[in-house]
Chains A and B, each alone.
Chain A
Amino acid sequence: MAKASTQIYDVSPSHAEFTHAELEQITDWIALHKDSVTALLTLFDNMHEAGLLDIVNALIVRGQDLLKILADQAEKPEYAGGIKNVIALVQGFGMLDAKVLAQLMRNLVFITRNLDLTNGPKVAGVWSTLQAVRDPDVAAGFSVALAIIRGLGQGIRAEQEEGKSV
């Protein structure tokens, strides 16, 4: 014989009971994963020693402030331009033929190693310039320079053509 009832006694565990139960669960879990927890604590300790934990904490707590600074700075044309340049540079490198770039870098290294102006060909006028071109090394470098100029010209002409069609 039960009349309808909506009354429920609140017998929620006390704060201490609740905490005790939660801690028990955590302790069980730690015991189960002892090795990884120990490794994790060591990592945390090292990060703390190095001050990295403070940095991470600051990043998390002040994350939105940092993003705001970044966004505010980016609104300034000079900074936006800088970021654009960085990305343009990254994109430009992405488009280069890796083999050619590698060769170019090797040559640059070679140049810097041999950059002794006293040992280079002496140029005093048009005649001595033409004479210097007969040097096989100078001739090879000159060919590369001409190839670069040619490529540059091709690029400029292509852009001009595209401009006409738009």
Chain B
Amino acid sequence: MQITIDGKQVDLLDNETLLDKILAQDNEFPHICYHPALGPIETCDTCIAEVNGKLVRTCNTLVKPGDIVQTMTKAALAARKEGLDRILHNHELYCTVCDNNNGNCVVHNTALHMRIEHQKYAFELKPYEQDHSHPFYRYDPSQCILCGRCVEACQNLQVSEVLSIDWSRERPRVIWDNDVSINESSCVSCGHCVTVCPCNALMENSMLGEAGFLTGMEPKLWESMVDLVKDIEPGYGPIFTVSEMEAAMRNYRIQRTKTVCTYCGVGCSFDVWTKGRHILKVEPQMEAPVNQISTCVKGKFGWDFVTSEERLTQPLLRQGDAFVPVSWEKALAYTAQRLLEISNEHGPDAIGFISSSKCTNEENYLMQKLARSVVGTNNIDNCSRYCQTPATEGLRRTFGYGGDTGSIEDLEQADLVIIVGANPAESHPVLSTRIRRAKKKHGQKLIVADLRKNDLAKRADLYLHPEPGTDLVWLSAVTKYMIDQGWHDEGFLQKRVKGLASYREWLEPYTLDYAKEKTGISEEQLIATARMMHDASRVCICWAMGVTQHVGGSETSTAICDLLLITGQVGRPGTGAYPLRGHNNVQGAGDMGCAPGYLPGYQLVEDEVVRQRFEQAWQVTLSSKPGLDNHQMVQGIHDGSVKAMYLFGEEMALVDSNSNLVQSAFEKLDFFIVQDVFFTKTAQYADVIFPASPSLEKEGTFTNTERRIQRLYEVFEPLKNSRPDWKIIQDVANAMGANWYYEHPQDIMHEVAQLTDLLAGVTYDRLQGYQSLQWPVLADGTSTPRLYETTFPFDDGLARLHLPTWHEPVVFGDEYDLHLNNGRMLEHFHEGNLTYRVHGIAKKVPTTYVEISPQLAAERGIETGAIVRLSSPYGQVEVPVVVTERVIAHELYLSMNNRTDQQAVNYVTSSYHDAVTHTPAYKETSVYMDVLQSKGESPMVRGNFRLGHPNPQRGVLVEEKWARADFDPIIDVSEEGM
């Protein structure tokens, strides 16, 4: 559409606002409440221009072809000035002594660019105290300009629906829930509100008194300085000059470094602001490909562990029953000597290597290279064995690649999202925001199948509660019903899929009646599921550990992929299969060949041609025998075939299932190397402990759940004598006689790209800053955001309908009468080694607790705060109780974060495992419960968002502002909605 802006003809695209177009011509054109991630809010009245002679808000004005837009008329200038004058009535400009004066304060910059010299309406304090109740951020009502960005972000982007503006007050303000303190509200601490605040009304506590040269003074003196700045305010010009100079000076000591989050597989990236070793704040950026300005509590606020006093900073050697700090030289020499001794005596297959899905691609690559090329074994695995390998198996069997078929953008575009056995709101928080937003703003439909009525289950259009471990049955019944109804995609099946006839035959037993009997899901719900799929033209299915951590995890994953093939829901925008990767680099650890049967790029170790390629590059002879996976290594230790192990970045002693069995295996090792950031439970069994650096202290790349490769940069230098893992692995290799000369992680990635077609075009240059690549990456750098648009990577280009095998869930025996579900909690990462060292998080969620239903609580005569012992055939835990309707009947939920050893859920999980991949069946655990104490203090302490009461709103409700008696419209009201 062609329009004229200030005499110049321009084309306006469909998705562009008039404001976007004006900004493309003049990036200083004023606008305060509008944010590209949020859209028009219409509260600030600073973006006014004339369209065909009428004053309008450019952020939300629909224009017609031929419209004439004028931004510099006297009326437009005066209107914008009036808009800003009203904002400054609500905001005190004391920029030089403000911690937000860092060059990116929207109010400051707008006033500066508009050359505001005087305050037309005197600033007036609002009659409210600052709210300092929350451990991570504070709200200053008197500085709040009531633009509503925070509200819009909370209501419609994060969709936690906590913040709103109470327009009915004489002096409106932002409120949390129904007006409680921030800390007592349902605020999930995601930080969206703080990130989008255009001034200093919402600020990270870590910034206060730290960011500015003059902001760290005593509060009383600070107030006097603010008064001084106010007193000498005959015009803002000189004050802006001083504050601009001060802001420029801050750049000298404040570093802004891009990193990629390590707390889940979503792959959020953001800038970390630091002053020395102090983290001032995390600031997400619009150019971040996955999250833009979104974060969760851990990504935004969970990094204090990096500066913890408890960090390992010196290599440790076991001497008897204690550890002694030693030099790197001594630790490395001893390690090399012991590994060589064991390899010489028992063969290279007596050594196992556990790589880390929390560490970089480059580090994972080096770990498998160390195992294969230096030691000579394929005994290499990583912790995706505990979670996602069955999903990868299902994908590979049917579609060809072991990765998500599309991007998070596809999830946003889908008409229907089905979530099976996953709790994205707590385990993949930023991904869940996209689903919540699509549902609330665009009417996306949602089906959730889970044992627990989690956040998304509560919001779902259809919630299914299957009997534990029976997802394959209901998925297959829905598939059969759809075929029976003729709702399958005949064209897609004919052209792009093979195996339909045998699959239909396999499906025969999966009638609705059978499914109802096995799963407990009613016929109506099954039909409703099928009908919703039929009615939607674009469907995505997400799944996670609720599917994979079963004896039939690979089979259920396969059934999901089969369903998508039957309905033609793959290879198009808004469709596809999304196993939600749990760790930041689950995908990458697999891509890099940290699996016993695969070299980097999923190339089979048994393939001679493949091996030759690597042998030539590495100048060694490689073993053709697939190695042991994690599970088999533990068995191998117990049966005496595995004598030594080198593990980095994994808390295997608590995270692998059946912890007692795993820990007793560690006790039997002749030699055990553990490399980590902290002295973990696993490290307690080590002979050598190497102090590693966390992600903020290294460079490299991670690959997220969408197959997206992103670079992280070094925020801090490694603490004291700790080292990045890639350096340590190289040191070990060289101590064993290898001659590796990697000077930087990019040297390693260069080698990876040479050896793997999947990553052929990956270079650090192409990943500069916020740029990313999704594999397969062609040699010319072409990225693949969506797989299978034209072909599947099999010889004939067709997908396969694979026939799954149904496995009955494990039964422990009648006395184990309660089913124990387990998984993550939003605030904590995994076992909690990192997040319990973040003071604010530990304060909000100091301990784990078992969730039990009101029914079970009544049966056992207990209430929230009781202490119970849960026992399985494999061990016991003692945990406090929370009674909640999130779980039903005799189903329990215990999150895996544990403050004390006695609370770790894996003391009661078993060694049963997925038949194909050996992923433990964590979710097939039954226990009996002894009540140790029937009542007590609730473990869910004040500050836990689950105690709050959200206040859902359509948005900022700006109409309520406009309806106030004291509101005088600035724009031409008759033209509103033009």
Hey, which bits of chain A sit against chain B, CB under 8 A?
1-9, 11-12, 64, 67-68, 70-72, 74-75, 80, 83-84, 87-88, 90-91, 94
Let me know if A5 and B684 touch, CB within 8 A.
yes
**CB nearest neighbor in A for B668:** A1
Chain A residues closer than 8 Å to B679, beta-carbon distance: 6, 8
CA gap between A91 and B232 in the complex, in Å: 12
B221 CB contact (under 8 Å) in A4, A67, A75, A80? A67
Please encode chain B, from 671 to 688, with 1 for each CB lying within 8 Å of some chain A CB and 0 for all others: 010000001010011110
Let me know if A83 and B232 touch, CB within 8 A.
yes
Let me know if A2 and B669 touch, CB within 8 A.
yes
Q: Which of B162-170, B316-324, B597-605 contacts A (4 or more CB under 8 A)?
A: B316-324
Contacts A5-B323, A74-B224 aside, 15 further interface pairs with beta carbons under 8 A come to A1-B668, A2-B666, A2-B667, A2-B685, A4-B685, A5-B322, A7-B322, A8-B316, A8-B324, A9-B325, A64-B221, A80-B231, A83-B231, A88-B235, A91-B237
B227 is an interface residue with CB less than 8 A from chain A: yes
Chain B residues closer than 8 Å to A11, beta-carbon distance: 324-325
- Expressed in whole angstroms, the minimum distance between the Cβ of B122 and any Cβ of chain A is 14
Let me know if A88 and B234 touch, CB within 8 A.
yes
CA gap between A3 and B663 in the complex, in Å: 9
Let me know if B322 and A8 touch, CB within 8 A.
yes
**CB nearest neighbor in A for B220:** A68
Let me know if A87 and B221 touch, CB within 8 A.
no
CA gap between A88 and B117 in the complex, in Å: 12
Let me know if A87 and B232 touch, CB within 8 A.
yes
Let me know if A71 and B232 touch, CB within 8 A.
no
Chain B residues closer than 8 Å to A2, beta-carbon distance: 318, 666-667, 669, 672, 685-687
Residue of A2, A12, A94 with most chain B CB atoms under a 10 A cut-off: A2
Let me know if B235 and A4 touch, CB within 8 A.
no
Let me know if A72 and B224 touch, CB within 8 A.
yes
Chain B residues closer than 8 Å to A64, beta-carbon distance: 217-218, 221
By DSSP majority rule, is chain B's interface helix, strand, loop, or mixed? mixed
- Expressed in whole angstroms, the minimum distance between the Cβ of B163 and any Cβ of chain A is 35
CA gap between A42 and B133 in the complex, in Å: 52
CA gap between A1 and B217 in the complex, in Å: 57
Number of A-B residue pairs, CB cutoff 8 Å, is 88
Contact sample, A vs B, 7 pairs, CB 8 Å cutoff: A6-B679, A7-B321, A7-B323, A8-B316, A11-B324, A83-B232, A84-B232
Chain A residues closer than 8 Å to B63, beta-carbon distance: none
Let me know if B227 and A74 touch, CB within 8 A.
yes
B321 CB contact (under 8 Å) in A5, A68, A70, A94? A5
Number of B residues with CB within 8 Å of any CB on chain A: 35
**CB nearest neighbor in A for B225:** A71
Residues of B667-711 contacting chain A, CB below 8 A:
667-670, 672, 679, 681, 684-687
B238 is an interface residue with CB less than 8 A from chain A: yes
Chain A residues closer than 8 Å to B224, beta-carbon distance: 68, 71-72, 74-75
- Expressed in whole angstroms, the minimum distance between the Cβ of B686 and any Cβ of chain A is 7
Let me know if A87 and B238 touch, CB within 8 A.
yes
A6 CB contact (under 8 Å) in B234, B235, B666, B684? B684
A74 CB contact (under 8 Å) in B221, B232, B666? B232
Residues of B321-341 contacting chain A, CB below 8 A:
321-325
CA gap between A91 and B237 in the complex, in Å: 8
Please encode chain B, from 642 to 681, with 1 for each CB lying within 8 Å of some chain A CB and 0 for all others: 0000000000000000000001001111101000000101
Chain B residues closer than 8 Å to A94, beta-carbon distance: 237
- Expressed in whole angstroms, the minimum distance between the Cβ of A100 and any Cβ of chain B is 20
B228 CB contact (under 8 Å) in A5, A7, A8, A70? A70
Known: A8-B679, A9-B322, A75-B224. A91 touches B234 (CB 8 A): yes
**CB nearest neighbor in A for B237:** A91
Chain B residues closer than 8 Å to A1, beta-carbon distance: 667-668, 670
Let me know if B231 and A8 touch, CB within 8 A.
no
- Expressed in whole angstroms, the minimum distance between the Cβ of A57 and any Cβ of chain B is 18
Please encode chain B, from 237 to 268, with 1 for each CB lying within 8 Å of some chain A CB and 0 for all others: 11000000000000000000000000000000
**CB nearest neighbor in B for A9:** B324
- Expressed in whole angstroms, the minimum distance between the Cβ of B930 and any Cβ of chain A is 26
- Expressed in whole angstroms, the minimum distance between the Cβ of A159 and any Cβ of chain B is 14
Chain B residues closer than 8 Å to A83, beta-carbon distance: 231-232
Please encode chain B, from 108 to 144, with 1 for each CB lying within 8 Å of some chain A CB and 0 for all others: 0000000000000000000000000000000000000
Chain A residues closer than 8 Å to B321, beta-carbon distance: 3, 5, 7
Chain B residues closer than 8 Å to A4, beta-carbon distance: 663, 666-667, 681, 684-685
Known: A2-B672, A68-B221. A90 touches B238 (CB 8 A): yes
Known: A90-B238, A94-B237. A8 touches B323 (CB 8 A): yes
B667 CB contact (under 8 Å) in A3, A67, A68, A80? A3
Residue of B225, B232, B238, B322 with most chain A CB atoms under a 10 A cut-off: B232
CA gap between A64 and B234 in the complex, in Å: 25
Chain B residues closer than 8 Å to A87, beta-carbon distance: 232, 234-235, 238
CA gap between A5 and B214 in the complex, in Å: 48
- Expressed in whole angstroms, the minimum distance between the Cβ of A111 and any Cβ of chain B is 31
Let me know if B323 and A91 touch, CB within 8 A.
no
CA gap between A94 and B214 in the complex, in Å: 27
B323 CB contact (under 8 Å) in A9, A12, A90? A9
Residue of B325, B666, B670 with most chain A CB atoms under a 10 A cut-off: B325
Chain B residues closer than 8 Å to A70, beta-carbon distance: 228
CA gap between A94 and B235 in the complex, in Å: 12
